[in-house]
A and B are shown apart, each in its own frame.
Chain A
Amino acid sequence: MTGTLIVPGYRREAGDPALATPGYGSTNHRAPDRPLVVLPHTLTEVTGPAFGEGRVKAADADLTRRPAGEPLGERIIVHGRVVDSDGRGVPATLVEVWQANAAGRYAHDSDRHDAPLDPNFTGAGRCLTDAEGRYRFTTIRPGAYPWRNHPNAWRPAHIHFSVFGRAFVQRLITQMYFPGDPLFGQDPIFNAVRDERARQAMISSFDLDETVPEWALAFHFDIVLRGRDAVAFESGDDEDDH
């Protein structure tokens, strides 16, 4: 058996949206109506799944490469690093993305938007970060699309990102937006993040240096996960700690 275990927790950092956000209608029956209970971070929370190379092929990071032909739209590179808030890169973590096509239509049975599907675009990709936490996708720029949340509601163009990190409490699903989108002001999902600095952390930046001449524009988007708490607490089993 092991002796005393040191289990560093993760900081509770500001910036996440409130679950109950009345302007986003779907929260009304789904956001918990009782206060959340603070959970101490134990071994279960500070560990998390790891996915090996076997799960991801290099081609999975290129959403434009399909056997029958290329998707329509503006080809872009989306790249950046997965780091924690202390700036440490998170290596070998799984990044999954999904998005609408250039016309603002998802390749999903439930999407009723009257815009064309693209037979050469599924809108799904995945990759593992490298040793410094870097990731890179090739895709097409998604279109904005209407939804029925409020009169004349439109979602700003976005790419959904899912990231694991090292610990189950670092798990993050978010959306990456594009700089200068005129639809930000009327979008209750974007504005559910109340703090301006936090909202800016969801917007990619145009990256001329990574643009590939004659081929693709580029956007940079770092994903910043919670950092480790400086205060470690002890956890151990009954037999060996005394």
Chain B
Amino acid sequence: MARQITPSQTAGPFLHIGLLWPDGPTVVTGDDPAAIMLTGCIVDGAGDVVADALVETWQADADGRFASAEDPRGPATSGFRGWGRCATDADGRWRIVTVKPGPVPGPGGTTQAPHLDCTIHARGLLRQLFTRIYFADEAQANAADPVLAELPDERRATLLASSVDGGYDLDIKLQGDRATVFFDA
């Protein structure tokens, strides 16, 4: 019989004590020629910014390879860390420096559009929120993506980061009409 999993509990308002790393937001250094800034703002159901959250990201490198022994193709050789962590500031904003991931194989011979997995931890979240970040300027790849394909049109847009000067930006809304798609992962 399988053991009972340890349930999730909220990270609470003081997560910064244990989880802030000086280099958390720098998935790649700024002098990487392919570096982009990925930014966002988190807003709650009352319209207030969420100033005490932690955002984590996980992604493939520019060639679509993961820095993980769990990748059956073998780990990426690029030296890419693949993982980012940034707390939101007083304006609810977070930012990481990374590269745009390459396409990644998906179920049934499909190809997934460039994307990052993204989790949010905060006071008031009894378990992590799990979402994905795609890129609005990858229209052709997005149209063929098996995960986006399952979403209604109006909700798909909540996962598409817009191109801005130096990178991409995406607001995350926890509740309401334009709420971000969150996954049961």
Contacts and interface: CB of A to CB of B under 8 A. Distances in A.
Contacts of B143: none
- Contact residue range for chain A? 35 or more
B172 to A, nearest CB: 11
Given A21-B126, A235-B106, A235-B108, A85 B4 contact: yes
- Contact residue range for chain B? 35 or more
Contact of A18 (B16, B52, B126): B126
Given A24-B126, A49-B83, A224-B5, A236 B68 contact: no
A33 B184 contact: no
A212 interface: no
A173 to B, nearest CB: 5
A32 B182 contact: yes
B45 A33 contact: yes
Given A5-B72, A30-B122, A224 B3 contact: yes
Interface string A199-220: 1111000000000000000000
Contacts, number: 257
A110 B14 contact: yes
A169 B122 CA distance: 17
Contact of B11 (A30, A43, A160): A160
A16 B123 contact: no
A224 B3 CA distance: 7
24 contacts: A16-B5, A26-B124, A27-B125, A28-B45, A30-B122, A30-B125, A32-B179, A36-B184, A37-B181, A39-B183, A40-B146, A42-B104, A44-B58, A44-B66, A49-B67, A50-B68, A87-B3, A224-B5, A226-B5, A235-B109, A236-B105, A236-B109, A238-B109, A238-B111
